[in-house]
Structure 1
Amino acid sequence: MNTPEFPETPASGTTAPPSSADNRRAIIAWPALRTLAWHRPLLAATAAMAVLVVVCLVGLLIDPRSLTGAPVWAKPLKFSISVLVYAASLAWLLGILSARRRRLAWWIGTVSTIALVIEMVIIVGMHALQVIPRTALLLEVLASRLVALRAPVVRLRLIRLVIGLYLGVLAILTGQALAGESIVRPDALVTTLTIALVAAVALAATLVLSAASRAALPPTDAAAP
């Protein structure tokens, strides 16, 4: 009598070898990965960040300076790595979109690239999220001691001047970055603009405080007949 035949099962702890169909699917998938339409501007940004990562690593090795207890190159290194990962991931994700969405994706990637290029400078502006609230808090504290600051409109005007100063500094730094100029070695035009900006803000603040001081003075008694 013939005994039934059962399919052989792999031994415990082992896995079955991939079937021919699985091999064909893997072979088909690899060319698709190689032929992805990677976003070139984002790839260029990725390469630039990779170079910056190397520069920061070298800086950590040869530059012993520290700021607030941390190496001066630590924060630029972390930022460069995060931008590198973001740019590379976005370049890959945009490449796997369908053809009809590819054009919109290209513009999205291009805008992201432009933002990443100037983000190293614009990151300075993010410190305004700390400076402006602290300035407002400081003015509130000083208002209890200085008569000129007791009016809310005066404090608001001073805060607006601080915001204007920040925007002006940000514009100057952005112009230096786009011109490829070192921040610590400004040319005559940048130096002149910086001095003019600081002088204008200082003059405006002086006028605001002077007007507030005059308004806070008690009215003089009318002359006796």
Structure 2
Amino acid sequence: MSSAPRLRPLHRPLVWFTVSMAVFALVCLGGLFLDDRELAGAAIWAKPLKFALSFVAYCLTLAWMLSLLPGARARRAGWWAGTVLTVACAGEMALITTQVIRGRQSHFNVATPFDAALFGAMGGTVVILWLAALVIAVLLLRARILDRATAWAVRLSSLIALAGAALGFAMTRPTSGQLAQKDPSLIGAHSVGVPDGGPGLPLIGWSTTGGDLRIGHFFGMHALQLIPLLPLVLSALAPRFTRLADDRIRLRLILVASGFYAAVFALLTWQALRGRPLLSPDGTTLAAAGALTVATAFGTALALRVRQPKTGSPNSRIPETQPV
């Protein structure tokens, strides 16, 4: 009789950083009400609030995933990777907050030598964060953890999150307008086809007139939370739907869902790179979304199929008594 996996403590530095970001999010909310300054068309405390909330979800999930690693060697490597990632995240938030206090734009700002130095330091923290997340993803890929459905949900979500985080590097490329300037004050942009700071969705600020790479960045990184929830949902539904009690079917559904998530991430990124706003998709985007929906429905139907034993085969003969 197999025993349930032993619960291990969560990664303590990541947990404490998560708590600090939850508290800091409350500070940012206060800033939204008490500080009427705006930057690039948005309330100046909106950016640190978004980063704080994102780090709460991201780091707490990683702390849980690291607790799944078996073996002292893997857990030690995971602890160091998680600790390095925590330091990088803390550095990123400190730099963003410094610029908020100064009333200066944090990302892409090279207007003065000091602004450029801070932006360069932010780039360094992002590289360190990404590399630490890559180490964690490799550890999860190699580890045998829990049941197969949960294991692959954790592995695939960490890979998609890495791809989502990597979109941040694409945002640092200078736009054509910036290249045409002799001494640009900004290098890089969130938006594609339109300047940053234009009309956007409330609070999150995603452009409503052009493409926005933050959409794919956000969607990809938070695969880390959404995909691992699916095995829990499937297990909860298993008593009502007998097919879901089969671990092979749950695994197939996880693979289909992960493929769907990765494809939606690619579609959102492609739409942004073509300069199309999220809420105004063109015919090409709609056609791709329709094809993806059909393919996912077909894959789900195949995943739910139960193979019946062939008539006359030894497996099809049901004995009158079952051995104890």
Please, what TM-score do these two structures have when normalized by structure 2?
0.36
More helix by share: 1
